[in-house]
Amino acid sequence: MNQPDLNPNNQGDPKQTRKPDEKYCESCGAIIKRSAEACPACGTRQKGMINKTSLLLLTFFLGGLGAHKFYTGRNFQGVLHILFFWTGIPALVSLVEFIIYASTSSERLNEKYPAKGSALIIACIALGVGLIYMAAILAAIAIPQFINYRERAYHAVFKSELQNFMTAEELYFLQNNKYTTDLTVLQLTHKAPLVEIDIISADKNCFEATVTHTKLHKSVAIDCHSVDQIPED
């Protein structure tokens, strides 16, 4: 048999009991319905109630981002979940909390955790912040990799243009018995736009030229005999 639930705040009737769907007013101690937004006796607005289904859904699906923490007013813990969700630890903690919440009655949950806001709004905020944080982490990883890949591509194009130019000059020499300073006659139809070629001199003996990559800010001096410096990958 259930023992009477006494209310120490109610001075008028110390033996006053409450039913499972009732609670004490936070101000005057009167027994009111748990769903009541305000006390009929004193008019004090009551704290929001935890919806167990919403709490379980938030904990299971967005627990790693701390949505259930914000829902139950534990904002600092929610912030910690967002900051460290990428470690996987908040998700494991939330799984344990999900089991605890599932085995706890709605009345007990409402006694321990008064609701602080809309579950949907809190879930969206937590999810949005989490996605932004995740995007920042991914960007911090991906951007250096992209820059490195782009640099290697620039070097590859630079080397290719050096070789193409030297080959074109040698072919011209075989056909005309001399080298040329005119790039147009070398027919470099696929010349890369970021590579500039400046032919300094050319005659029947040799040629000298400078090849520059505008993005790498590097130049290579070449002639008919050798490449003085080829950029490293």
* Chain segment 107-161, per-residue pLDDT in tens: 788 778 766 555 555 656 666 776 777 788 888 888 888 889 988 888 888 888 8
Instruction: Specify whether the CB–CB gap between 126 and 79 falls below 8 A.
Output: no
Q: How confident is the model at residue 213 (pLDDT cuts 50, 70, 90)?
A: confident
pLDDT reading at 1 higher than 50: no
pLDDT at 108: 85
Average pLDDT, the chain: 78
Q: Identify the H or E element spanning 225.
A: none
pLDDT one-digit tens code per residue, 19-32: 776 777 767 878 87
Q: What is the CA radius of gyration of the chain?
A: 38
Please determine, for residue 7, whether its predicted confidence score (pLDDT) is greater than 70: no
Position with higher pLDDT, 9 vs 136? 136
Report the share of the chain in percent with pLDDT over 90.
Answer: 12
Is 34 in contact with 110 (CB distance < 8 Å)? yes
Chain center to CA of 193: 35
CB proximity list for 115: less than 8 A, separation 6 or greater? 47, 48, 49, 50, 51, 71, 72, 73
- Give the list of residues 6+ apart from residue 150 with CB closer than 8 angstroms, or none: none
Per-residue pLDDT band at 102 (split at 50, 70, 90)? very high
How many other CB atoms are there within 10 angstroms of residue 43's CB atom?
10
Given a cut of 50, is residue 10 above it in pLDDT?
no
Helices (H) and strands (E) in the chain, counts: 6, 5
